[in-house]
Amino acid sequence: MRSIFTGTAAKIALGFTLGSVVVGGVATAAGTLGSNVVKACVDNRTNAIYASPTGTCTSTRTLVNLGSATTGTTSSLVSLSSIVQKVSPSVVTINVTTNNGGGDTGSGAIIKTDATSSWISTNNHVIEAAVGGVGKISVELDNGDSYDATIVGRDSNYDLAVIKISKGNLPVIAFGDSASLLVGDPLIAFGSPLALDRTVTSGIVSALNRPVVTGSSTTSESYVDAIQTDAAINPGNSGGPLTDGLGRMVGINAAIASTAATSGQSGSIGLGFAIPYNEAKRIFAEIIKDGKSNRPVLGVVFDTTYTGKGAKIAQLTSGTGSDAATKAGIPVGTIITSINGVRIPDYTAAIVRIRSFAPGETISVVGAVAGGTSKTYTVTLGSAVSN
Whether residue 105 contacts residue 236, with contact meaning beta carbons closer than 8 Å, is answered with yes
Return the DSSP state at 21.
-
Give the pairing of strands 146-155 and 61-71.
unpaired
Whether residue 20 contacts residue 238, with contact meaning beta carbons closer than 8 Å, is answered with yes
| CA neighbor of 18 nearest in space, from 89, 95, 87, 90 | 95
Phi-psi label, residue 144: left if phi above 0, alpha if psi -120 to 50, beta otherwise: left
DSSP assignment string, 290-327: HS--EEEE--EEE-TT--SSSEEEEEE--STTS-HHHH
Return the DSSP state at 89.
G
β-strand partners of 96? 104, 137
| Residue 171: HSE in the Cβ half-sphere, 13 Å Cα cutoff | 18
User: So which residues are the catalytic ones?
Assistant: 125, 159, 238
Cβ contacts of 211 within 8 Å, gap of 6 or more: 6, 7, 223, 224, 225, 226, 348, 349, 352, 353
Return the DSSP state at 148.
E
Phi-psi label, residue 247: left if phi above 0, alpha if psi -120 to 50, beta otherwise: left
Cβ contacts of 294 within 8 Å, gap of 6 or more: 286, 359, 383, 384, 385, 386
Q: Which helix (H) or strand (E) holds 4?
A: strand 2-5
Whether residue 272 contacts residue 210, with contact meaning beta carbons closer than 8 Å, is answered with no
Cα separation, 276 vs 175, whole angstroms: 11
The 3-state DSSP composition of the chain as helix, strand, coil percent (nearest 5) reads 15, 40, 45
Whether residue 386 contacts residue 158, with contact meaning beta carbons closer than 8 Å, is answered with yes
